[in-house]
Structure 1
């Protein structure tokens, strides 16, 4: 697995690993890298089947396979424990790790994630897959911002969104890999296991997320014992991109406390 380390280089520095959503690209976390890099060793990576780690995925693919990739990266980087931050599908990877390998996590941050896919989210993905099948990758990618960003933000950043959609065609993971990753996402269900998670957890979400209802995050926060909820008033499914200062403040505040707890003086 190819990965990149930003920020502090010394191996003794606390490490954060950032895991993207369905798109899979580590570049999703660009708005957070500078701030996090001041205090942390920051690991980003492209999910297997995407970007620098592209390969054709098996049809029978699961979130556990994605979590195993994270463990491989941690081992390669010589990291025993990390703060794990996952967006949407990346959050499911974090949940799997917290349940199977809790000793590898100093803390867990779930961004617009869920324990079991909501019926509304499933309906959105059905529509997106229909676009892919009948309109191709370009149609799929042109529609993608509708599910990620709030309408006012899309209106203010029209040129940027158009440019990113066009660039996305060149980085598209392919229909087969997308279906395999989406199948893993849809099959994941940790709803009956959340009470067993003992890792300090931040659940971050935006009220106006049109892809994943914020109630999914509220349910996570209620079910995970050592958790807190940071609910932004706006920002959409990608609120770490659209309101980065709010997200950064919530994240750094939580990480500061979690780092002090795991590295007491």
Structure 2
């Protein structure tokens, strides 16, 4: 998989692994990299079958498979301990990592993630699948901001979003791969194993997230033995982009606490 190791180069620097959501692109974390790379060694990567990691995803592709792919990359890079930061689908990968190799994670930060399906998110993803299947990638990309960002932020950042849409369309993944990734997150369910995940975990959620209800993060915080909820008022599903100043402060404070 395509990856980049950024920031500090000394062997004793703490390592952060950043895993993006459904889009799977390392580019998602651009608003965080300037502040994180000052103090940490930072690994970003494009998920298999997306961005610069070409692949034909198999039938039955799952979040567990995504975690195994990341573990193979971490083994290749000899990353034995790390802090994990995952957004949405990336957060599900973190939960799987904690189950598959609990000794790897020093802590994790899961942003607008979940442990089992819910009817609201299922409806949203059904809409996105219908757009892709019946209207094509351009319609899918055009609608994406509506699921990710607050309405006022969309109105104030139309030029940036136009550039983002053009980039997303130019690098759009194989539709079959995207549909398999959506199916994987829809099937994800680790309710029975939450009590086994002892990794210190910060759950960041947004009250105005229209894709994943913030109560799903609250549920995780209650079910994980060392879970803690930070509930933000503004930012939508991707507050790391739409309110990066607030998000970065919360993230850095938690990482400093873990150190």
Q: TM-score, normalised by structure 1?
A: 0.96
- The CA distance in 1 between the partners of 2:2 and 2:161, in whole Å, is 27
Per the alignment, residue 64 of structure 2 pairs with: 64
Per the alignment, residue 28 of structure 1 pairs with: 28
1:31-59, CA deviations, whole angstroms, 9 ceiling, x for partnerless residues?
00111111100000000001111111112
- The CA distance in 2 between the partners of 1:163 and 1:40, in whole Å, is 30
**Is structure 2 residue 188 aligned with structure 1 residue 202?**
no
1:190-238, CA deviations, whole angstroms, 9 ceiling, x for partnerless residues?
1121111110100001110000000101111111111211111010000
Per the alignment, residue 86 of structure 1 pairs with: 86
- The 3-state SS of whatever aligns with 2:31 is helix
Q: TM-score, normalised by structure 2?
A: 0.98
- The 3-state SS of whatever aligns with 2:129 is helix
- The CA distance in 1 between the partners of 2:81 and 2:233, in whole Å, is 32
1:141-172, CA deviations, whole angstroms, 9 ceiling, x for partnerless residues?
00010000000000000121122112211111
Per the alignment, residue 9 of structure 2 pairs with: 9
Per the alignment, residue 101 of structure 2 pairs with: 101
- The CA distance in 2 between the partners of 1:11 and 1:28, in whole Å, is 26
Per the alignment, residue 187 of structure 2 pairs with: 187
- The CA distance in 1 between the partners of 2:250 and 2:54, in whole Å, is 32
**Is structure 2 residue 242 aligned with structure 1 residue 242?**
yes
- The CA distance in 2 between the partners of 1:247 and 1:4, in whole Å, is 22
- The 3-state SS of whatever aligns with 2:191 is coil
- The CA distance in 1 between the partners of 2:196 and 2:55, in whole Å, is 34
- The 3-state SS of whatever aligns with 1:198 is coil
CA-CA distance at 1:248 after TM superposition: 0.8
Ranges in structure 1 where 5+ consecutive residues have no aligned partner:
260-265
- The 3-state SS of whatever aligns with 1:51 is coil
| Misfit runs of 4+, over 2 Å | none
- The CA distance in 1 between the partners of 2:116 and 2:162, in whole Å, is 32
CA-CA distance at 1:11 after TM superposition: 2.1
- The 3-state SS of whatever aligns with 1:108 is strand
Per the alignment, residue 130 of structure 2 pairs with: 130
**Is structure 2 residue 256 aligned with structure 1 residue 256?**
yes
CA-CA distance at 1:117 after TM superposition: 2.0
Aligned length: 259
CA-CA distance at 1:73 after TM superposition: 1.6
- The CA distance in 1 between the partners of 2:133 and 2:75, in whole Å, is 38
